[in-house]
Structure 1
Amino acid sequence: MPVSTVSIPVGQWFTSPEGVRWWFDSGSFALDFAYTGAIGGNPAWERLHAPDDLTSWLHDRFPVAIGSARSRDLFDAISLRDAIGRMAQASAHGETLRTSDIDLVNLYAATPDIPPVLADGSRQAGRSVQTVAQALSTIARDAVDLFDPANHGRIRECSGSDCEIVYLDTSRAATRRWCSMQRCGNRAKVRAHRARARRAVETAA
């Protein structure tokens, strides 16, 4: 089964250029982070234009308090994010991962991350507000899990003919085909239905 050690809910809402809102379960928190950017060269994905954008995304996703991002944090975040994105695409296409990207993920993963905490304790242990650098380390450690050999063959590109979205297939039987049933899965069903109807008409004629 796929490996993951970050107990943070995975998945996020996307809005298509046509204004259609749909849920994307990437299967990995690190992949969720990768999709804050132009993974695959599509500028429409970019969400981190300023430090405040990074702060907002981290605050929405982490169950603990994270400090405000600065310009340097944004630079670091985009560097890590883009490395994860390139690695995900390479894995989905069966290509060799860049050594420089692996080194970058390992570098961030080696720094202090956000420690796990049990609720209902009687005193504060450690920081009450975690740093952005700690959040990036947590994301990097999830990326280490994402590209673990245990996930070989499960990092895939959507089967939609016009879709290049990459996800981690966490299904038990490893049979996931679509980035989302709401999006590409539904489109495929509609196309199959139309094809069957067309064949039925042609046969009847």
Structure 2
Amino acid sequence: MEIATGQWLESGEGTRWWFDAGALALDFAWTGAINGEHLETLHAPADLGVWLADRFPRLDQSIGERELSDALMLRAAIAGLAAGAATARPATASDIDIINLFAATPDVPPALAGGSRQAGAGAVRATQALSAIARDAVRIFDPDADGRIRECAAEDCGYLYLDTSRSGNRRWCSMQRCGNRAKVRAHRARTNGLKVSGLQVSR
């Protein structure tokens, strides 16, 4: 099942910006903090329900503290592997075990629309959604995968993402955020350079 990636995030200053981590598992990891970046968004089971329902439309909203606890455990494991992959640090066995455990449970079965029977078209349980997220984590962290998990090139940013660009040269977490800041700094530097050059010539 193809799931669109990306989500609106909010900084500590209250600024909202669009961030596409390039993978469902990494988007899920960024509902909390990695490397001290970003704010917690899954405060209660209802918050988890809203996030999952945006990606799994047939989600069963009967989500309790147990499902939230499982989700936070899976999220921490994904965040740990992502931080390690971005810095070439070996993954911990405990994080791998947690992801494998969730990935081993039944996930959301694929189904074609338009049939006369309801098989595969029922409500999606939170455990199935978490399994789908874990399987996506297995895909992106597989040692034989491309391994293009990057850290934003901005010095004051720690956001991680899967570089899915064809050329493999994505530099910024978001063009709305760090990419735009870099353009502003570059423009300012060019402008100041021209001013300095003009003063030197007039002398």
Is it true that 1:37 corresponds to 2:4 in the alignment? no
Shift of 1:18: 2.9
Partner of 2:5: 10
| CA distance in structure 2 between the partners assigned to 1:20 and 1:143 by the alignment | 28
Find the partner of 2:17 among 9, 16, 22. 22
- Structure index of larger Rg: 2
State whether structure 2 residue 73 is matched by structure 1 residue 82: no
Q: Residues 41-68 of structure 1, C-alpha deviation per residue, up to 9 Å, x if partnerless?
A: 34x4211111111111111221323342
Query: Match for 2:184 among 182, 187, 190?
Result: 190
CA contact under 8 A between 1:26 and 1:167: conserved in structure 2? yes
Counterpart of 2:62, as a letter, is S
Q: Distance in 2 between matches of 1:126 and 1:180?
A: 36
Three-state SS of the structure 1 residue aligned to 2:110 is coil
Tell me the SS of whatever aligns to 2:192.
Answer: helix
Q: Which moved more, 1:118-127 or 1:50-59?
A: 118-127
Give 1:68's aligned amino acid: S
- RMSD of aligned Cα (Å): 1.3
Checking the alignment, whether the CA contact within 8 Å between 1:58 and 1:66 is kept in structure 2 is no
Give the alignment of 1:127-166 within 5 angstroms. 128-148=122-142, 149-152=144-147, 154-166=148-160
| Count of aligned pairs between the two proteins | 198
Amino acid at match of 1:184: C
Cα drift, residue 36 of structure 1: 0.7
Alpha-carbon distance between aligned partners in 1 of 2:177 and 2:16, rounded to the nearest angstrom: 9
What residue in structure 2 maps to residue 172 of structure 1? 166
Question: Equivalents in 2 of 1:158, 1:66: separation in Å?
Answer: 35
Write the distance in 2 (CA, Å) between the matches of 1:176 and 1:127. 37
* Structure 1: stretches of 5+ with no match in the other structure: 1-5
Q: Secondary structure at the match of 1:73?
A: helix
Q: Matched residues in 2 for 1:31 and 1:64: separation?
A: 22
Bigger RCO (CA 8 Å, 6+ sep): 1
TM-score by length of 2: 0.93
State, as a whole percentage, how many aligned pairs show the same letter: 58
Judge conservation of contact 1:112–1:134 (CA < 8 Å) in 2.
yes
Offset of residue 115 of structure 1: 0.6
Q: What SS class does the counterpart of residue 41 from structure 1 fall into?
A: coil
Report the TM-score, using the length of structure 1 for normalisation: 0.92
- Unaligned stretches of 5+ residues in structure 2: none
Q: Which amino acid aligns with 1:69?
A: I
Distance in 2 between the 1:13 and 1:113 partners? 25
**Residues in 2 aligned to 1:127 and 1:70: alpha-carbon distance in whole angstroms:** 23
State the secondary structure of the residue aligned to 2:71: helix
